[in-house]
Amino acid sequence: MKMNRRAFLGKTALVTASLAAPAVLADGHGKPRVVVIGGGAGGATAARYIAKDSKGAIDVTLVEPTRRYYTCFFSNLYLGGFKEMEDLGHGYGGLAASGVNVVHDWAIGVDRDAKTVTLAGGSSLPYDKLILSPGIDFVEGAVPGWDITAQNAMPHAYKAGSQTELLKAQLMAMPEGGTFATVAPPNPYRCPPGPYERVSMVAHFLKANNPTAKIIVADPKPKFSKMALFQEGWANHYEGMIDWIGEDFGGGNVSVDPAAMTLTIDGEETKVDVCNVIPAMKAGRIAELAGVTDGNWAPVNAADMSSKADPDIYVLGDASQQGDMPKSGFSANSQAKVCANAVRGVLTGSKVFPAKFSNTCWSLIDTNDGVKVGATYEATPEKIAKVDGFISQTGESAELRKTTYEESEGWYTGITSDMFG
């Protein structure tokens, strides 16, 4: 029953294949080159793991426009007053120190024949393998009356940073007894429990500071992630404050007027004080420009996250269409490690291990009332398929909910050091 390396290798077809043909794809230009676009949970993790594990054998360049990254995960806790904005901020110095060439610029084009990425600053980056992890952009016209020019009046706050701070400022400035509205997005979208954790955090803030205020949620979906847990929590902590209007009651038939600050749900117009519009989403624009999208998302092969449109391009995280995994930071981080292992294998002949994926999403409903949902996944020829999962139960003890929240804080420290070094 002893397991030595030889026995292990014999068991794994992928491994023997990659060892038999240690293809070093540097095309006569020295070290193989990997360009990663997007420095979030997918891109930062992939860049760091490829640089770290290849020990200098691969040139890794990360293209990310912002100097400082604010995590979307935990940004609701900033709205609730549990975190400061700076708690969510991370620099790229750790990645640079681990050998990643960090370029702060926008990628504006991909030439798949020449295998180059064009940057807004004018330069061009050649690649052997390109990893796209651009996150999300919004579908134009998804919410009638709302477009990017209206995002100051009606913030989306679904890319963390100034939008999140704006929404918090508007929340704090709400008149006594005012109305906070959220327009929730249709599936699939980034962070399935996100809008509902946000509603919980807004309610937490209002309960303490503006207890007669109301929250309206217009939702195009008949049900949502962790619905029973959120509804139980809303009834326990914020009784009578939150009005969730689902598909059955016209929650999908919505328009807004940012100038008048009105929200119309199924023909009925309501004056609102704050309106958080989270429109339908699609892959970050560069995925479309690279020509690897089909509809709103970029289809990928489950075994290595390679694009179905181009074997030299990989797509990670929210932008990818991979199967059963939710669009989350945890998922992107998990996919990035599978991808990094595969890319290293192709470029340097290193061992490629079978893909394993996992995800857990924690949400905070009120102080020390944390819940979670998670699952493990495997690669099948068709998609990333769910293997097993779990979800917090209604009626759990306060002690367990507190432990779950503390666990989420531990996870935040864990994943951010896994992403940024």
Partner 1 sequence: MQQAFWVIFSACVTVASAAVAADDLGDAEAGQAVFAQCKGCHQVGEGAKNRIGPHLNGLFGRPAGALEDFKYSKSFQRAAASGLEWHADTLDAFLENPRSYASGTRMSFRGIKNAKDRHDVIAYLRLFSDDPANIPEADPTATATDHDLDPAILAIQGDPEYGEYLSSECTTCHQADGGDDGIPSIVLWPEEDFVIAMHAYKNKQRQHPVMQMMAARLNDEEIAALAAYFNRLEN
Query: Which stretch in 186-194, 265-273, 286-294, 412-420 sits in contact with partner 1 by CB under 8 A?
Result: 412-420
Total residues at the site for partner 1 (CB under 8 A)? 36
Whole-number Å distance between alpha carbons of 157 and 169: 12
Q: Which of 3, 21, 259, 398 binds partner 1 (CB under 8 A)?
A: 3
Q: Cα-atom radius of gyration of the chain, to the nearest Å?
A: 22
CB atoms within 10 A of CB 68: 12
Name the residue nearer to partner 1 (CB basis): 56 or 141.
Answer: 56
Is the distance from CB of 314 to CB of 300 less than 8 angstroms?
yes
Q: What x-and-dash track marks residues 22-51 binding partner 1 by CB under 8 A?
A: ---------------------------x--
Q: Which stretch in 3-11, 253-261, 293-301, 315-323 sits in contact with partner 1 by CB under 8 A?
A: 3-11
H/E/C letters for each residue in 121-171?
Answer: CCCEEECCEEEECCCEEECCCCCCCCCHHHCCCCCCCCCCCHHHHHHHHHH
The CB-of-360 to partner 1 minimum distance in angstroms stands at 6
Query: What is the distance between the alpha carbons of residues 244 and 256, in angstroms, rounded to a whole number?
Result: 17
Smallest distance from partner 1 to CB 326, Å: 15
Nearest CB to partner 1, comparing residues 1 and 20: 1
The residue (of 52 and 308) whose beta carbon lies closer to partner 1 is: 52
In this structure, are residues 159 and 65 in contact, taking their beta carbons and an 8 Å threshold? no
Strand partners, 372: 362
Q: Give yes or no for a cis peptide into 279 (omega within 30° of 0).
A: no
Decide: is 162 part of the binding site for partner 1 (CB under 8 A).
no
| Residue 93 lies near partner 1 (rule: CB under 8 A) | no
- Rounded CA-CA distance 336/39 in Å is 12
Q: Rule CB under 8 A: is residue 20 a binding residue for partner 1? A: no
Q: Which is nearer to partner 1, 291 or 410 (CB)?
A: 410
**The one segment of 32-40, 60-68, 155-163, 351-359 that binds partner 1 by CB under 8 A:** 351-359
Specify the DSSP element, H or E, that contains 346. Answer: helix 329-348
Residues that bind partner 1 (CB under 8 A): 1-5, 8, 49, 330, 333-334, 337, 341, 351, 353, 356, 358, 360, 372, 374-376, 387-390, 406-411, 413-415, 417-418
